[in-house]
Structures are given as structure tokens and as C-alpha cells.
């Protein structure tokens, strides 16, 4: 029996699974990593948008332990699942990322990126809709 197509629409995928026409592929772990303040602000942590409190996440030094945590988290990942706004912000930074962040940037640039969006117009070669 063939594996179900990851690119199939949800409706088609469910129909194929229900009919036994395909078998599910391997299950992956989904690890969520977010920047969030104690009072619940998540928007624009890097300051690249027009949010009035944008850039808040980088006003604080997370120290060597925090930097190591973020690097280890990234290195243990196989792909990224992003929304359109985050993807577009990251895409602006990718061209210079390897120069400025070394190993972190190399991994970020090489990873496949899955973008959840109905409005994304342009994408790089490492994204999948």
C-alpha cells in the first residue's frame, strides 16, 4: 500500500485514509517555540512590523544559556512551520544570516520551511505551501 501524499488537500487525504487507498506516513513531533511576554504579548518580537511594542524580545540579553538553548532547539529540528508574516520577516533576514550568526544561520537557511498561508505570494526554494 502506498503512503498518503503530503501535498494532498485535507479533504482528499481524509478520503484516501478512510477508504484504505493509502496508509499514513511517519508521524513527526511538532515542537512549538514562541516568544511571549508575561502579559501575553506575542506580536512582532523582533521589531520588523509596525506594532507599537515591536522589538521587545531583543531588548533583553538572554545570556549564554539562553543562546545555547535556542541553538540546541534549532539543531534538533528538521523543518520549520511558519505563518506568512513570520516567514516573510525571516526571508528578509536569510541572505545575511550565515555571515552574522554562523552555525545557526547555516541551519536556518538549509531547513525546509512549511508556510501556513492563503495569502503568500512569493516564496523561496526551501518553502512548501
For the segment 44-102, what is each residue's pLDDT rounded down to a tens digit? 777 777 778 788 887 888 899 988 998 899 898 888 888 888 888 888 887 788 888 88
**What pLDDT, on a 0 to 100 scale, did the predictor assign at position 65?**
95
CA dist 45 and 107 (Å) reads 21
Mean pLDDT confidence for 1-12: 67
**What pLDDT, on a 0 to 100 scale, did the predictor assign at position 10?**
67
Which residue is listed with cell 538572554?
A: 62
**What pLDDT, on a 0 to 100 scale, did the predictor assign at position 123?**
65
* pLDDT-above-90 percentage for the chain: 5
**What pLDDT, on a 0 to 100 scale, did the predictor assign at position 6?**
60
- Domains of the chain, by residue range, sit at 1-27, 28-128
Which residue is listed with cell 547555516?
A: 106
23 DSSP β-pair partners: 3
Per-residue pLDDT at 8 exceeds 90: no
Amino acid at each position: 500500500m502506498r503512503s498518503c501524499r503530503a501535498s494532498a488537500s485535507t479533504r482528499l487525504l481524509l478520503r484516501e485514509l478512510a477508504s484504505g487507498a493509502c496508509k499514513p506516513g511517519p508521524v513527526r513531533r511538532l515542537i512549538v517555540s514562541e516568544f511571549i511576554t508575561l502579559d501575553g504579548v506575542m506580536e512582532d518580537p523582533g521589531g520588523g512590523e509596525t506594532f507599537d511594542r515591536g522589538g521587545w524580545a531583543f531588548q533583553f540579553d538572554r545570556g549564554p544559556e539562553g543562546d545555547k538553548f535556542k541553538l540546541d532547539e534549532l539543531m534538533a529540528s528538521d523543518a520549520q512551520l511558519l505563518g506568512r508574516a513570520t516567514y516573510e520577516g525571516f526571508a528578509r533576514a536569510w541572505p545575511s544570516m550565515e555571515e552574522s550568526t554562523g552555525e545557526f544561520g547555516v541551519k536556518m537557511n538549509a531547513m525546509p520551511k512549511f508556510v501556513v498561508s492563503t495569502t503568500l505570494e512569493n516564496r523561496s526554494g526551501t518553502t512548501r505551501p
